[in-house]
Structure 1
Amino acid sequence: MLLHGTGVGRGIAVGPVLRMPAPLSEPEDVPRTVDADTEYSRALAALGAVGHDLTDRARRAGGEAEGVILTQSMMTQDPALLDDVRSRIDAGSTAERAVFEAFSGVRQMLLALGGSPADRAVDVEDVGQRVVAQLRGLQPPGVPEVDHPFVLIAGDLGPADAAALDIGQVLGLITVGGGPTSHTAILARSKGIVAVVGVTDATGIDEGTTVLLDAGEGSVTVEPSVEDVTAARERLVARRVAVPIGPGTLADGTRIPLLANIGSAAEAKAALTLGAEGIGLFRTELVFLGARSAPTVAEQQDEYRRLFTACRGKRVVVRTFDAGSDKPLSFLATDPEENPALGLRGIRATRAHEGVLRDQLAAIAAADAETDAEVWVMAPMVADADEAGYFVSLARELGIQVAGVMAEVPSCALMAGQVLGIADFVSIGTNDLTQYTLAADRQLGSVASYADPWHPAVLRLIKMIGDAGEQSGRPVGVCGEAAADPMLAVVLVGLGATSLSMAPTAFEAVRTELRQHTLEHARALAVQALSASTAAEARALVRE
């Protein structure tokens, strides 16, 4: 039996299936037997313990996972949620029931909103389960501990569980929900775990059954034959004629710098060791995600100085605070929004709090003056030339030498000629660009097939930006997860991308694939992809 989903990476995995344990049972709706204050104190203690545990897990995880898990930790101290728990306990509920209902209410609200808010529904559910488990004196459901390697099947994974996957035990990962840009997929890629996500039929696979995952094909073969495994291994060998660590280069010598996506200065050294030619995306908000007040210029300057010093002589692209939606920063708090993904986020949020943005730009400029890195700065979620002009003008005023924008909203692509008449460069964030173009929540399994950067609609928008870059003579980078897909990376170059930024674990596969194609061939493959009607057809045409 052959099942299909979306592959993460290009590897294969063969092994017996082990299922993620079922969630904890729903707490009974029975009256509490102690006074409200005592019961609320129990709830607060459990919330505090879970928050502390998640913070510790975040620090240990580092990388992509740190910011995601820190956001989870912050949920345990959310004032609105605490008020909800208190009111339910005052009305007669037990702490367990009050916590369960409060987190379930937030989860349902996020799912109803769709878009980026729904990205966080799995994260909210995971925190709620952990708090209920703490109240019951139980371990929360997590990755099974067994004495043999296995392929894990889960509906989806909370960030803390995804970050804790042991690559020595977990041969591969299959999820029923999620898409290629979900937290699960991003964290699996960062850990180098073979995964196929959004496999809606995986619920029918019995535990212990041997499966074959082929991430390059996006397939799961149940009870594969010897011939199936041999063919998959041959495909893997064909994909892995690796070239040594070195510059990203096409077969004709065209340079395509391979840069790293990171969330802290500490990650830079590891990225450079794996062959990063610089940093293509430094997510500054991850450093300050748990802060209750805006970081000072000095605090920020210290962090940027560490990064720039580690990257001496190399390009470092710093993204200003991308607040809002799934990355709430308490010091950039806004009024409640029905759909935060379409609200005051990115450049809109920092423009509304210009003092915070000025401090950040001043800190970056000061750190740049002290070090020898090639510092570029960009604003997130820029929609048009007006926002580009605002940011570039402010950046110049505060001493930034190279100021650009991120293209994550379709309007920015449609106005790319005007935007690149102002900005020094554009970096395309394919995760959000795909989500907004196709109105498909990247976490939601039911629309995972839409949330695919191979879709010709997304590729056409990228080509608009690439064409504008060529006409203006200004760089166009890609820093979304699409750059980590080796074959799509070639297509992106054919569409006009002049650099690619990704999780460092993807460098080898992307570097190897680029070396197999000339620029002329990459452009021909891009034409093939643009001629398709669907993402699946575009992928198939290019593969053929």
Structure 2
Amino acid sequence: MTEPLVSRELRGVGIGLGVAQGPVARMAEPAPAPSDAPSSLTADEEKARVAEAVAAVARELESRGAQAGGAAQEVLEAQAMMAEDPSLADEVNARIAQGRTGEFAVFDAFASFRDQLTALGGYLGERAADLDDVAQRVIARLRGEPAPGVPDPGHPFVLVAKDLAPADTALLDLDKVLALVTTEGGPTSHTAILAREKSIVAVVGATSATGLRDGETVIVDAAAGVVTTEPTSDELERANRRAADRAAAASAPLTDGALADGTAIPLLANLGNADAAAEAVALGAEGVGLFRTEFLFLSSSQAPTVEQQREAYTKLLQAFPGKKVVVRVLDAGADKPLAFLNDAHEENPALGLRGIRALRASEDILREQLTALAEADAATQADLWVMAPMVATVEETRYFVDLARDYGIKTAGVMVEVPSSALLADRVLVDADFASIGTNDLTQYTMAADRLLGSVASFQDPWHPAVLRLIREVGDAGRANGKPVGICGEAAADPLLAVVLVGLGATSLSMAPTALADVRATLLQHTLDQARTIASAALAASDAASARAAAQEAARS
């Protein structure tokens, strides 16, 4: 057989450094919209059919959630509740009463609710896609068809999809799925975050992948952000060697994060609860760069007691003796509302009473949290650092640092997530002991693009030079004041962007533990001077895509 002379490359955003190859299996396209033709059944018969289908879908979602556990379980249980929402049932039944079929009534009522959620934006806007998935599952049940979902061709495959719904990602069989390719989404999309957490080779936002056919062999190169179709035998062999080399590197003895010239760059873990500490240590985390304390609060109707908090913080700190552990005090508001902290309606909660603002309004909660942290610190051997979220002013910095000192917290800092604190970093870092940059929110506020709203996902890219310039401001301020500057947003998990961040002045990087190996390997390929050169190339660009391309070119030079 004659080999193709030229391979075709489809470009997107790669997640991590992995490479994989295999036959394509495409997610089925959404079923066509039901006809608006009158029903041949009585209204009661249609209502009964729909009630049975909705209940079956809700139980299936709950079952998937129970199998998946963790955050996936919460998402799927929320979907099940959404499916059985009484007001949604009333809308469906109203359409059936007008003579419509159950399929059309579900389609039309769910679409109406979806449009309302999209208009609300924020967390609820992000749930609109989940509602579409529920509707598709109910309609499939009514039609007697298989539910939409991940295909099973009977062999390992490269999954190609528009994007993935939570119900599909929760139980993704990683023994079968060799790689992911999506035509939509960006580096902070649900699918991208899943890929990082589970170390799946992925290229997202590859718009041209719509033309891929079931069964054709492709190479998915996350490091280059390329999907190669019709690969030659030489290309397949090179991809095999790279995959083997990467597997060998991942199993090599763990070393601390460092650049090629020996400059130490501690690689830390982002954690949401103390139970994940052991896995983070096993994957090479040198400490914790972001411990989110929200898990203690979000599942309660009232704030946890000092004793409950102290127990959780002690468990965390005991897992990292002698290591740095950065704890963020409660970051509530926006997409994480808490009735006991702030139950007032806000038209735009992302710009409202959240983070340190909400804590100042309910200072007793902050004081109890600082008490518990100080007591846990006294009982353990970790190096505890505590930081405040969503700090926007120098005055807020002084307020938090002074209060933390009153409770015996030795190292108190701030998160830089708001452009104002980045621009004032030279003054913020006079008072704060350190700064940690939350790139997800910093990008959201810099680009005026809600991080939870799919319609503006393309703006949610930390590679944008406007975001990089703000990060440089903080890095420069850190050097001038002799204060450390960490990164704890999703950006740190992007290996090449991690190099850029170090070039901009970051002194530590924190990420999902599964991303540590790729970032560690990439840092070792560049000196500090080279990192600064690569960062300068990205800063000189005019948009996110060209910044990424410029950094890739500079890294190859």
Q: Deviations over 1:135-191 (max 9, x none)?
A: 889864222233200111122112342232222110110112211011210111111
Query: Closer, same or farther in 2 for the Cα pair 1:288/1:135, shift >3 Å?
Result: farther
Query: Closer, same or farther in 2 for the Cα pair 1:77/1:147, shift >3 Å?
Result: closer
CA distance in 2, matches of 1:516, 1:190: 23
Cα drift, residue 333 of structure 1: 5.2
2:527 matched to 1:543?
no
What is the aligned partner in structure 2 of residue 53 from structure 1? Answer: 63
SS in 1 for 2:483: coil
What is the aligned partner in structure 2 of residue 33 from structure 1? Answer: 43
Q: Deviations over 1:365-424 (max 9, x none)?
A: 222222222222222222222332333333333443322221122222112122212222
Please point out which of 346, 350, 353 is paired with 1:341. Answer: 350
Please point out which of 273, 278, 297 is paired with 1:269. Answer: 278
SS in 2 for 1:421: helix
CA distance in 1, matches of 2:428, 2:42: 60
Please point out which of 269, 272, 292 is paired with 2:301. Answer: 292
Aligned partners of 1:43 and 1:96 also within 8 Å: no
Query: What is the percent sequence identity of the aligned residues?
Result: 56
Please point out which of 353, 359, 382 is paired with 2:368. Answer: 359
Q: Deviations over 1:428-478 (max 9, x none)?
A: 111222233233455777755543222221111100001111111111100
Aligned partners of 2:92 and 2:106 also within 8 Å: no
Aligned partners of 2:269 and 2:510 also within 8 Å: yes
Please point out which of 79, 82, 86 is paired with 2:85. Answer: 82
Aligned partners of 1:179 and 1:444 also within 8 Å: no
- Please say which of residues 18-27 and 399-408 is displaced more in the overlay: 18-27
What is the aligned partner in structure 2 of residue 420 from structure 1? Answer: 429
Cα drift, residue 36 of structure 1: 12
What is the aligned partner in structure 2 of residue 378 from structure 1? Answer: 387
Please point out which of 213, 222, 229 is paired with 1:206. Answer: 213
SS in 1 for 2:403: helix
- 2:43 is aligned with what amino acid? T
- Please say which of residues 216-225 and 89-98 is displaced more in the overlay: 89-98
Instruction: Specify the structure having the higher radius of gyration (Cα).
Output: 2
Aligned partners of 1:23 and 1:129 also within 8 Å: yes
What is the aligned partner in structure 2 of residue 197 from structure 1? Answer: 204
Aligned partners of 1:259 and 1:501 also within 8 Å: yes
Query: Closer, same or farther in 2 for the Cα pair 1:331/1:445, shift >3 Å?
Result: closer
What is the aligned partner in structure 2 of residue 470 from structure 1? Answer: 479
Query: Closer, same or farther in 2 for the Cα pair 1:265/1:133, shift >3 Å?
Result: farther
SS in 2 for 1:458: helix
Query: Closer, same or farther in 2 for the Cα pair 1:54/1:335, shift >3 Å?
Result: farther
CA distance in 1, matches of 2:93, 2:167: 31
Cα drift, residue 512 of structure 1: 1.8
CA distance in 2, matches of 1:254, 1:114: 43
SS in 1 for 2:185: coil
Query: Closer, same or farther in 2 for the Cα pair 1:299/1:509, shift >3 Å?
Result: same
In the TM superposition, 1:390-539 aligns within 5 A as: 390-440=399-449, 449-539=458-548
- Please say which of residues 156-165 and 133-142 is displaced more in the overlay: 133-142
What is the aligned partner in structure 1 of residue 3 from structure 2? Answer: none
2:187 matched to 1:184?
no
SS in 1 for 2:516: helix
SS in 1 for 2:303: coil
CA distance in 2, matches of 1:432, 1:511: 25
CA distance in 2, matches of 1:496, 1:509: 20
Aligned partners of 2:218 and 2:228 also within 8 Å: yes
CA distance in 1, matches of 2:172, 2:279: 19
Query: Closer, same or farther in 2 for the Cα pair 1:274/1:333, shift >3 Å?
Result: same
- Please say which of residues 259-268 and 357-366 is displaced more in the overlay: 357-366
What is the aligned partner in structure 2 of residue 312 from structure 1? Answer: 321
What is the aligned partner in structure 1 of residue 5 from structure 2? Answer: none
- Please say which of residues 303-312 and 178-187 is displaced more in the overlay: 303-312
- 1:174 is aligned with what amino acid? V
Q: Deviations over 1:22-76 (max 9, x none)?
A: 44666777697349999998699568636743652452xx4xxx2x652453465
Cα drift, residue 497 of structure 1: 0.6
Cα drift, residue 9 of structure 1: 0.8
What is the aligned partner in structure 1 of residue 290 from structure 2? Answer: 281
- 1:436 is aligned with what amino acid? Y
What is the aligned partner in structure 1 of residue 176 from structure 2? Answer: 169
- Please say which of residues 218-227 and 332-341 is displaced more in the overlay: 332-341
Query: Closer, same or farther in 2 for the Cα pair 1:151/1:127, shift >3 Å?
Result: same
Cα drift, residue 205 of structure 1: 1.8
Cα drift, residue 197 of structure 1: 0.7
Aligned partners of 1:177 and 1:444 also within 8 Å: no
CA distance in 1, matches of 2:189, 2:48: 39
CA distance in 2, matches of 1:116, 1:436: 16
Query: Closer, same or farther in 2 for the Cα pair 1:130/1:265, shift >3 Å?
Result: farther
Aligned partners of 1:475 and 1:498 also within 8 Å: yes
- 1:18 is aligned with what amino acid? A
- 1:217 is aligned with what amino acid? A
What is the aligned partner in structure 2 of residue 70 from structure 1? Answer: 74
Please point out which of 153, 156, 165 is paired with 2:160. Answer: 153
- 1:197 is aligned with what amino acid? V
CA distance in 2, matches of 1:296, 1:121: 35
Aligned alpha-carbon RMSD (Å)? 3.5
What is the aligned partner in structure 1 of residue 232 from structure 2? Answer: 225
CA distance in 2, matches of 1:302, 1:133: 47
- 1:372 is aligned with what amino acid? Q
Structure 1: gaps of 5 or more residues: none
Q: Deviations over 1:304-347 (max 9, x none)?
A: 22211222222111222332333344544534444433333333
CA distance in 2, matches of 1:91, 1:192: 46
Cα drift, residue 246 of structure 1: 1.4
Aligned partners of 1:117 and 1:340 also within 8 Å: no
Structure 2: gaps of 5 or more residues: 1-7
The TM-score, its normalising length taken from structure 2, stands at 0.85
Aligned partners of 2:61 and 2:80 also within 8 Å: yes
Aligned partners of 1:178 and 1:444 also within 8 Å: no
The TM-score, its normalising length taken from structure 1, stands at 0.87
SS in 2 for 1:404: strand
CA distance in 2, matches of 1:399, 1:126: 49
- 2:281 is aligned with what amino acid? L
- Please say which of residues 517-526 and 176-185 is displaced more in the overlay: 517-526
Query: Closer, same or farther in 2 for the Cα pair 1:344/1:176, shift >3 Å?
Result: farther
Aligned partners of 1:198 and 1:445 also within 8 Å: no
